Amino acid sequence: MTKIQDPMLSFEEELNMYLAGNSIDCVIFGYEHQELKILLLQWKHHPVWSLPGGFIRKDEDMNKAANRVLIERTGLKSVYLNQFRTFGSVARSELHKNAQFMRLDLFKKSEVFSAKTIAWLTKRFITTGYFALVDIEKTSPKPDFLSAKCEWKSLKDTPPLLLDHNDIVQKALEHLRIRLNYLPIGASLLPHKFTMQDLQKLYEAILQKPLERSNFQRKLLKLDFLNRHEKQMTGAANKAPYLYSFDMIKYEKLIKQGIGFSF
Amino acid sequence: MTKIQDPMLSFEEELNMYLAGNSIDCVIFGYEHQELKILLLQWKHHPVWSLPGGFIRKDEDMNKAANRVLIERTGLKSVYLNQFRTFGSVARSELHKNAQFMRLDLFKKSEVFSAKTIAWLTKRFITTGYFALVDIEKTSPKPDFLSAKCEWKSLKDTPPLLLDHNDIVQKALEHLRIRLNYLPIGASLLPHKFTMQDLQKLYEAILQKPLERSNFQRKLLKLDFLNRHEKQMTGAANKAPYLYSFDMIKYEKLIKQGIGFSF
DNA sequence: ATTATATTGTGTCAAAAAAATACAATAAAG
DNA sequence: CTTTATTGTATTTTTTTGACACAATATAAT
């Protein structure tokens, strides 16, 4: 959708390219300052936030659509997205018609969209959720032409989102926690080099419970997918920690095997 | 769809009630004679088998549609269905147009469906898979008016199925195995009272590997959700096993906690 | 009636994994 | 130098797992 220059006219035409009834929503988890965050968009002319989402082209695989949608709406490329659940209640589209969505000046005044386009957008949609984990520092989110902002928001104080997007985030988080118990995670969330504490804090942020330091270290080192590098002088009055990086060959091998462990 | 009396005319009309683009497919696992089976439908006038599937009404929740579809197509009621994945590749609908689906006499000769109906049915559909585990002895599958047969087929020699239904079954099975590692299973698959051997064979059928008898027993009893009853005189020349049943209160509690274990 | 046979319930024992704790090493501040 | 906070690793304890032993027992064979 980023290519649209004259929204009023061409948006309506462009919608013919898409399946009318299915959508994609992406829950992008990022990690920064020992906090789990998600990437959200804020609409132009209206303060409501929502997940980056979009539609599926008639000639496009749903999985590919998810990546395209994420790129178009946020600028994030090469993100490994996982499908986690499809949301198909009638209530979720009723929200379109009754609640915030119609109150958007954007829609009400029809300054941007034609009546036909609004009718299309407010139909019933069944949406499929995808999630991903990314290193915030490696991203530079850009809002698309529909949005005023594209920002990382702390998961702890996620604002009220459009439609049922808060529920979608919740389900994505549950899914992520289960995954953590049988797949190592982190290669895409952390900077290239990180300390063991960084990794532990990440796990704690996802699981939302404290883990025992020395046991965490032993367990992760035993899985044998971390490379140890030089020490990092932190400037703090204590012993400097080693830096680690993921050995991607061993890491991928482990993921394929599906070796499990639990915390 | 069971209510249709004059398919040629009213099926076309009835399709207006449904979302054009989304479907449901159910993978119903059953267990009988120490074997895992799935419930399949065979089309009238054509030998091809397929998963019981159908469409979502415009005013119906997708989850509810799954139960309705299952009832309509197989007669199975009160089945607890779990959504496991949505299949949205373009290729899966191409199969509609190029492969078996069009070769069905049912479609080619248009004896049953109008051209318009065929056009509707062979459009691109994004399908959501649901799975369930049921006790075969408690079911009496009945084919709907579209189908000649509705039968349990051994998972080991599943016939070639319509479209990508074999892939869907495979994904359902993977999902089931992962689930088994963090949730106890069996309440819906076995008769009310069963022996420890019954339960073990069920686990072995799902995991497709042998488990050690005494360790299995120890592990399951420790989870403390089984009630022990009187012994069962099997008539065999050996010690009679105890009968067990699920303590549903403890069982549900365990499932909510998500207590995990692995085999 | 006695013995044989297959299967069950339970116990044991060693190996492995996980949890809890201890402690020396160390970077910087006082 | 001493203190302080944190790190890397070792040690101990507890729990879980896998392998196997063995008595109990329902019936068949003798």
B30-60 confidence digits (pLDDT tens)? 988 888 999 999 988 778 899 999 999 999 9
> Shortest CA distance to A124 belongs to which of A15, A22, A14?
A22
- The dihedral over CA atoms of B150, B153, B157, B160, expressed in degrees to the nearest 10, equals 20
> Shortest CA distance to A180 belongs to which of A207, A200, A161, A214?
A207
Same domain, B150 and B222: no
Report d(CA B48, CA B55) in Å as an integer: 20
What pLDDT shows up at residue A3?
46
Best to test chain A binding among B56, B126, B130, B167 (most A CBs inside 10 Å) = B126
Report d(CA A40, CA A71) in Å as an integer: 13
Distances in Å between the Cα of A14 and the Cα atoms of A56, A74, B128 are 12, 19, 26
What is the phi/psi pair of residue B247, to 5°? -85, 95
Entry field: residues in chain B: 263
Same domain, A15 and A59: yes
> Shortest CA distance to A15 belongs to which of A119, A143, A97, A144?
A119
- The dihedral over CA atoms of B108, A58, B87, B93, expressed in degrees to the nearest 10, equals 20
Q: Does A227 touch chain B (CB under 8 A)?
A: no
**Structural domain total, chain B:** 2
CATH code, domain carrying B248: 1.10.10.10
Could you tell me whether strands B126-135 and B82-87 are parallel, antiparallel, or unpaired per DSSP bridges? antiparallel
Residue identified by tokens 């009835």 is B14
Assigned token pair, B224: 């403390």
| CA–C1' B232–C1 (A) | 26
Q: Does B168 touch chain A (CB under 8 A)?
A: no
Same domain, B39 and B125: yes
| CA–C1' A232–C30 (A) | 23
Q: Does B89 touch chain A (CB under 8 A)?
A: yes
Strands, E assignment, B92-250: 126-135, 147-154, 226-231, 242-246
Q: Are B73 and B23 in contact (CB under 8 A)?
A: no
> Using the CA of A228, which nucleotide's C1' is the nearest one?
D8
Best to test chain B binding among A17, A67, A90 (most B CBs inside 10 Å) = A90
3-state helix, strand, coil split of chain B in percent (to 5) is: 40, 25, 35
> Using the CA of A200, which nucleotide's C1' is the nearest one?
D7
Q: What number of other Cβ atoms are within 10 A of residue A37's Cβ?
A: 21
List CB contacts (< 8 A) between A56 and chain B: 88, 126
Kindly tell me the sign of the dihedral angle through the C-alpha atoms of A204, A209, A213, A215.
negative
What pLDDT shows up at residue B3?
46
**pLDDT tens-digit map of B141-164:** 999 988 999 999 999 889 999 889
What pLDDT shows up at residue B105?
58
Using pLDDT thresholds of 50, 70 and 90, give the confidence band for residue B116.
confident
Mean pLDDT of chain B: 86
> Using the CA of A243, which nucleotide's C1' is the nearest one?
D7
What pLDDT shows up at residue A184?
75
What pLDDT shows up at residue A258?
65
Higher-pLDDT residue of B118 and B112 is B118
Q: Are B176 and B206 in contact (CB under 8 A)?
A: yes
Q: Are A263 and A242 in contact (CB under 8 A)?
A: no
What pLDDT shows up at residue B197?
94
What pLDDT shows up at residue B172?
96
- Which residue range(s) make up the domain with B240? 196-257
Same domain, B82 and B159: yes
Q: Does B256 touch chain A (CB under 8 A)?
A: no
Same domain, B213 and B171: no
Distance of CA B188 to the CA centre of its chain: 12
Domain end residue (candidates: B156, B180, B204): B180
Q: Taking CB atoms and an 8 Å limit, are A85 and B83 in contact across chains?
A: yes
Residue A54 lies in a domain: yes
CATH code, domain carrying B68: 3.90.79.10
* Chain C nucleotides reached by a protein CB under 7 Å: 4-12, 18-22, 25-29
What is the phi/psi pair of residue B19, to 5°? -65, 130
Q: Would you say residue B183 has pLDDT above 80?
A: no
Domain end residue (candidates: A113, A137, A171): A171
Ranges of residues in chain A whose predicted pLDDT is under 70: 1-9, 95-112, 258-262
